[in-house]
Structure formats: C-alpha cells, structure tokens
Structure 1
Amino acid sequence: MTRKTIVLIAAFVALGTATVGLVTAIVTQRGLILPLNILDLLSIKFTTSEMIDSWFGLAGHNKLISPSELGEPLKSFRNQWAKTNPTVTPFLGLWHNDGDGFQSLHEAYFLSIFPSQVQGQVCVLEYKDRGLLDVSILSLSTAKVISGQLLSSRLRADKSTIVQKDFYNGYPVEGYPVEILPVLDGQNEIYIFSSRSPPQLPPGFPEDLTSKVKQKLSDRGCTMD
C-alpha cells in the first residue's frame, strides 16, 4: 500500500467519524449547522449564474471538461427512490465540477450522493485526486435533507438553486440538457457540479479503498443500488 493511500485512509476515517457526530446534532441542536438563509440563497443563485456561463463558454471551446448530460438512468434512479425517500431525490447522483482548469474527467472534483434507508438522509462521498503534489480530498459524510436543504458539516445545498439548462458545444447543434447543483462548503465557498449518473464511485477511485467505502456506506444505512 502506498504512502498516499495510507494518508487518504486516515483522512477518510477521521472525517467520516467527525461528520457523523456533527450531522446528528442537526436534529437535536440545529444551531450547530445553520440552514441557508435568504441572503445565502440569493448569493448562490447570482454567483451560480456567472459560474455556469463561464464553465459552458470555456467548455464550448474545449478549454474545460464539458458538463455531463442529464440522462435517463439518473432520472429513473431518482423516480424509483421517490417512492420511499422522496425528499432526498433532487440531490441523488454522481456529480462533477469543471476540472479546475484540467481537461481530464479524472482531475475533476466529485460528489456522489447516495440514498439512505433512513428518511430524509443521504451519504455524501467527496473525492478529488490531484496526486502527491496537490490536494487530495476523500471524505464520507452523512447529511440530512430538511425543508429542501441538504445539510452536513462539510457542505450545504438547496434544491431551489438547482439549475437545468442546455449546453451547446457546436455538435450536436441542438445541445443537450444539463443539471447543475451549487453547494456551499464549510469555508462558504461556492462550487457547482454537473450531474453525471446514478450515484457510484467516481472514475479513478482507488481500488484498494472500494470495499472500505462500500462497507462504510452500508454501516450508515446507504446503498449504491
């Protein structure tokens, strides 16, 4: 096992444990994780519009990763879960950002949001691998969905800020539908993500961590099915 993998495992275990403890406090002491307020939502919507225009414009000239098409597999997955855990369905899926200036999907920052058997709850896997010379992220947190807002100790999002818009890259001429999820992280930085597929492990995810992550998901009542 490489030193890099050992570091990722340590971060995964530490972040996972801390997050569960804090997210549980949403129910008992909601002041610990504040919901997004009107000013937050206005700021997110305004900033998101500019970020989408920038991403789509640069991706249209092959300078950034193109946003993924909102496809039928993800829609079907959400429709199935809407029967048993409807409040979480707008957030479910594997999401990726624009690659932060890189043109390979493997360089993107991923969120994979898995459904839970617990009502109003999801598991959020964050993953970004930039090698030994840059920052790598690996965390698994439990989040609550309350009044249309996804709330965890690591990020917050609101379903009212999710944007669906067509992306045009010159071919095909008619473009294709894209779904964008803005999130506010723990440092109040806004990131935008494009839905890609039903929730799953991201491309390039370390094979030696796969079984560990699947077990952690199961322990928290979440599923990849």
Structure 2
Amino acid sequence: MIVGVLNQKGGVGKTTIAVNLAAHWARAGRRVLLVDADPQGSSLAWSSARERDPLFPVVGMAKPSLHRDLPALARNYDLVVIDGAPRVNELARSAILASDIVLIPVQPSPYDVWAAADIVQLVGEAQGFKPGLRAAFVINRKIAKTAIGRDVSAILDSFPLPVLDAALRQRVIYAESAAQGLSVPEVQPRGEAAREIAALAKGIADLHLQREAA
C-alpha cells in the first residue's frame, strides 16, 4: 500500500503525519519506506536529526516521475508513505498518481478548508486515470472545545471525500519528538498522541480494505 500525505497548502502537518504513521507501522513489524517528495526535504531533515538507529529508510524523490519510478522500489516494502510537496504542480500530481490512498491534512481553519479545493480537484483528475485511488481528509492540530474544532468536519462535508473519524489534536509532543528525529510512538508509546496515530492508521487500513473490495 502506498499512502500519499498531500495538501497544496504548506504548514498543515504533512511531514508530522507521514513520519508518525511510518513509525507506527514500522514498530508494528511492517517493512516501511518513507519517501520525501517535497523539495524542502523536511522528512530527510528529520531523519538527519536522528541519533538512534533508523526505524525505516527515508529517501528523497522530489521529481515529477515519482509515479513511474516508485512502484519498482515499493515492491520491497509492505507500506510506503509519501511526504508530498505543497502547491499544485507536477510534483503533487505525480505523488497522487503514485498513491493508492491520498491523505489530506486540514487544520481547523477556514484558510485550510478553502485551500482544500485544489487538492480535491487534483485527486478527481487522477481518479480518471486511476479509478481505484481513494482519498480522505484528516483533521490535524484540532483544538478541543472550540467552535471551529467542532464544525470543521461539517464544513468539509461539502467536498466529495470522506473525513476520517480519527483526528490529531494540537499537542507539544509532536514538535518535541520531531526535534530529536524521533516519533511520538517512540517517545510516548502509551500516550494520547500515539493512540491518535494508531487510530489514524486504522482509518487508512479501513480505506484500503474498501479499495480492495471495490
């Protein structure tokens, strides 16, 4: 399974989600590859900051031929996670075409919701070439007990993509672990944030089952 984490808006937490999903699956015994398809190289920078032995390899593939080059490499892994590029361009299109499932992080902000329209359009175009492609929103940095935190799911319902039940709350542990080249499942394996990542991974697995059954 290849999971692309993409949104044309920067700063929505793509790398945080990609790294922590990869770590969750690797700690569960799966063979995982993390692909940094963003020219900014955030996942590669995270890997470079790490002092412990790696949980999984991280490779840079920020190129518009990703969808052609990745399948041969992906055969050696159970799961591949793509940390996609911001902005709607050929890199984003290639990452979408390379994916089986596209995860779209959205923060509880009207700016993020408005920006989601572009990536939804790209996914729709890609489904014309790849009908089995599935995509879903995940709410990231959700702030408890706020109106926008409660209402963002309803706002996203106007798009033709589902919103996963699993949401990631705004927690300091995500930034603190990243600064050390670590993941939340490593730093606090029994913490709330690790449980959020596990719930998100289950939501993605359910999408994959639906894709396989279609």
Q: Which interval holds the TM-score relative to the shorter structure?
A: under 0.3
Q: TM-score of the superposition, structure 2-length normalised?
A: 0.23
Of Structure 1 and Structure 2, which has the larger fraction of its residues in helix? 2
Q: TM-score of the superposition, structure 1-length normalised?
A: 0.22
Structure whose CA Rg is larger: 1
